[in-house]
Chains A and B, each alone.
Chain A
Amino acid sequence: YDVVVSGGGMVGSAMAAALGHDIHFHDKKIALLEAGPRKEYDPVPDSYSNRVSSISPGSATLLSSFGAWDHVCSLRLKPFRRMQVWDACSEAMIVFEKDDLDDMGYIVENDVIMSALTKQLDAVADRVEVFYGSRAVGYTWPLPSHSCDTSPWVQIELADGRRLQTKLLIGADGHNSVVRKEAEIKNIEHWYDQSAVVATLHLSEATDNNVAWQRFLPTGPIALLPLSDTASSLVWSTSHEHASELLAMDEESFVDSINSAFWSNVNHSDFIDTAGAMFRSAISLLKPSGTAVRQLPPSIAKVDPESRAMFPLGMGHATEYVQHRVALIGDAAHRVHPLAGQGVNLGFGDIACLAHHLSAAAFNGSDLGSLKHLLKFETERQRHNVSLIAATDVLKRLYSTSLAPLVLLRTWGLQATNALPPVKVRI
């Protein structure tokens, strides 16, 4: 095989599909290894899945470059135009909105994305061979110097005893990546004291549900992502204990907790409110349009039974993304807190970059596993990813406290950022 992608999640499947549809890979052989079964949605079930992702326009462009976005659009997705982020401890708020009324992003169920990717993989089945229900149990790495008689390629042994050999192994096997561990690439990781609770919620009344809401509570951010005019998805990052409580309580209490989390002002203190108000009047003197009215998110009426789930959160970053004949993408290379909604978008960004470099290398007749172009991919992506991962981590820590000085700092910071268009555009 020319390329083997280990891990058939959203990122792994998209990588295989991107290469399979690339014209310079017309004669190449690609394999995708996935431990789970084949997933396809046909037709879309009535209820929404509780795992959703916020897809950026850039990711949508990547998916449409090999025809998967059309499938997503024909299945189910919800574009959103506005994002309001605010603090529980003060009135500070920031609103993101595109001037030209374009979509800021899309909320798509992960299963929908997988289904679209599976369809596009089928379309290039002559180039991409998908091994469902298979797992790699052993890797043999090539020795660096090329004077020996043993094969200079990567050997992979599957659980069922089959052996594959490939010029390039791409690890897309998640934050507990086996490829990364076997390649002995060091990983900087850190478990947050938080778990995320997800659920599918039904709104009290139908509305033009095109805003994404996120409020920073002292225990962690709670986010409401629109799925349709009557339903939204919940992502609530909070302490492990609170998360277990939320899962255990009855549906009515659960809905009440959500509503009060968004609506109550119990964490405000007069001091902070006054300081915040002062700062806001100062800004409106300098920049009249710099403050906006805080809107309230829609209220929740009920939760989909069986849709509540929780999973622990952590952060991770691999010190190297590449080695001779190996590359890591997606969560295998980096893992972030969901508060910025960027996790899978970083993975799609990795794919766009790696596919670009591999395509050029193929058109030059180069050996696909050669470090020369793999290092270019690593440099480009590390430069981009490290700042975003660090910023997400800082934000998470900054908003995890209700200590007055830090609240004041972030209140003023948020208000200032809201008033400065250049900074907002960059974000």
Chain B
Amino acid sequence: QLSLFRLTMKRLFSTSYSSVDSKEMKKFQLLAHKWWDEEGEYSALHSMNDIRVPFIRDTLLNMSSNYHLGNPLSGVKILDVGCGGGLLSEPLGRLGASVTGIDPLEDNIRTADQHKSFDPVLAKRIQYRSSSLEEIVEECMETFDVIVASEVVEHVADLETFIKCCSQVLKPEGSLFITTINKTQLSYVLGIVVAEKILGIVPEGTHEWEKFVPPEELQGLLESNGFSVKTVNGMLYNCLSGSWSWMESTSVNYAMHAVKSGAQGQSSSTDALSEMASEQSSATAGTAM
């Protein structure tokens, strides 16, 4: 039975080895040391914390009934996919969550590890691993309460595989938070021409318009893979003040919150398969952890 399980897993992934794009990795390699300079290349990501952290925090608080305002995310296990230098992992850790940050680039993980090492509280709450999402799926089936993939899906090679893996490591009724860029004319003008070439808010070549994901497509992929999309919000970056705010329209940046369905008996075959797989692997997961 175990070998059957392994075979089915292999077949699921035989189409593409991983969702990591090696070209993308090279782009980030050069800037691995610049993560924590608040005024540097990543300043827009630093200021994005001002809206994405409250978004995650408040959504999770609204869904749960017992929490302590002094430690709002205590007991919540979060996976930060594509954590980079840990810009988002650290605030989530400070709010009490146990965070696992993964990033395929070793230099990023090294920077993240070094930065968290100065704070004894964070050093215990956050664990970083240099790995792709697929590599941890086997040992982390249904481990996490929350997955955060912020500014990541516009860099992955195969979005559907990525989402399937998210579903596998997420507990039923767990939350998935994605922030990314829409594929519109406006996002080309603002996100690439202005942001990269004119104002230099984002290092040049970081984004490719072809890989931007429209919210309708993302929503469709999520819902056909066992997720139910709860919230979609547009985001806007004000380059004069260097701050982010929420916006009605999702034509440039947007954030999405989806919940993995916990109900049994979905008719899609992938779900039945993952159902079986999760039953088998929760036993192994128990011993592996």
User: In the docked arrangement, what's the CA distance between A364 and B54, Å?
Assistant: 6
* Contact status of A364 and B36, CB under 8 A, knowing A25-B70, A26-B69, A26-B70: no
On A, residues with C-beta under 8 Å from B are 23-27, 145-147, 149, 151-153, 362-367, 370-372
The 10 closest A-B pairs by CB, nearest first: A26-B70, A365-B91, A146-B36, A365-B94, A365-B95, A23-B69, A364-B53, A151-B118, A23-B70, A147-B33
Contacts of B57 in A (CB 8 A): 363-365
With a CB–CB cut-off of 8 A, which chain A residues contact B92? 365
Cβ B53 vs Cβ A26 within 8 A: no
Instruction: Check B101 for interface membership: any CB of A closer than 8 A.
Output: no
Cβ B96 vs Cβ A364 within 8 A: no
Q: Please name all residues of chain A whose beta carbon is closer than 8 Å to the beta carbon of B91 when the two chains form the complex.
A: 364-366
Query: With A and B bound together, what is the CA distance between A259 and B71 in angstroms?
Result: 60
Q: Which residue on B lies nearest to A167, using beta carbons?
A: B119
Contact partner of B96 (CB less than 8 A), chosen from A27, A145, A153, is: A27
Closest residue of chain B to A25, judged by CB? B70
Instruction: Find out whether the CB atom of A370 lies under 8 angstroms from the CB atom of B72.
Output: no
Tell whether, in the assembled complex, residue A365 and residue B71 are in contact, meaning their CB atoms are under 8 Å apart.
no
| B279 at interface, CB cutoff 8 A | no
The reply to whether the CB of B37 lies closer than 8 angstroms to some CB of chain A is yes
Question: In the bound complex, what is the Cα–Cα distance between A24 and B70 (angstroms)?
Answer: 4
* Bound Cα distance from A370 to B53, whole angstroms: 16
Inter-chain contacts of A372 with B (CB < 8 A): 38, 47, 50
Let me know if B50 and A146 touch, CB within 8 A. Answer: no
Looking at chain A's contact residues, the main secondary structure is loop
With most chain B CB atoms within 10 A of its CB, the pick from A23, A25, A147 is A147
Q: Is the CB of A146 within 8 A of B69?
A: no
Q: Which of B207-233 contact A (CB under 8 A)?
A: none
Of B47, B71, B118, the residue contacting A26 (CB under 8 A) is: B71
Q: How far is the CB of A161 from chain B (nearest CB, A)?
A: 22
Given known A-B contacts A26-B68, A147-B33, A364-B54, A370 and B93 have beta carbons under 8 A apart: no
A-B contacts, 16 of them at CB < 8 A, read A23-B69, A24-B69, A24-B70, A26-B69, A26-B70, A145-B37, A146-B115, A147-B36, A152-B118, A153-B118, A362-B94, A364-B53, A364-B54, A365-B90, A372-B38, A372-B50
Interchain nearest-CB distance for B196 vs A (Å): 23
Query: Whole-angstrom distance between the alpha carbons of A363 and B54 in the complex?
Result: 8
Contact bitstring B96-129, A, C-beta under 8 A = 1, else 0: 1000000000000000001100100100000000
Determine whether the beta carbon of A364 is less than 8 Å from that of B49.
yes
Q: Which residues of B contact A153 (CB under 8 A)?
A: 118
Interface string of B2-40 (1 = CB under 8 A from A): 000000000000000000000000000000010111100
| Given A145-B37, A146-B36, A370-B38, A363:B118 Cβ within 8 A | no
List, in ascending order, chain B residues with CB within 8 A of A27's CB: 70-71, 96, 121
Chain A, residue nearest B242 (CB): A372
**Which residues on the B side are within 8 Å of A146 (C-beta)?**
35-37, 115
Question: Shortest CB–CB separation between residue B224 and chain A, in angstroms?
Answer: 33
In this complex, which of A25, A146, A152, A372 has the most chain B Cβ atoms within 10 angstroms of its Cβ? A146
What's the nearest-Cβ distance from chain B to residue A145, in Å?
6
Contacts of B118 in A (CB 8 A): 151-153
Complex Cα–Cα for A370 and B43 (A): 13
CA distance A362 to B71 in the complex (A): 10
Q: Which residue of chain A is the closest to B121 with respect to CB atoms?
A: A27
Q: Give min CB distance, B146 to chain A, whole Å.
A: 14
- Give the CA-CA distance A145 to B33 in the complex, in Å: 10
Distance from A65 Cβ to chain B, minimum over Cβ atoms (Å): 16
A342 to chain B, nearest CB (A): 32
- A-contacting residues, B139-189, CB 8 Å: none
CB–CB B33/A363 < 8 A: no
Q: Which chain A residues border B49 with CB–CB below 8 Å? A: 364-366
A363 → chain B, closest Cβ, in Å?
7
Contact bitstring B55-91, A, C-beta under 8 A = 1, else 0 = 0010000000000111110000000000000000011
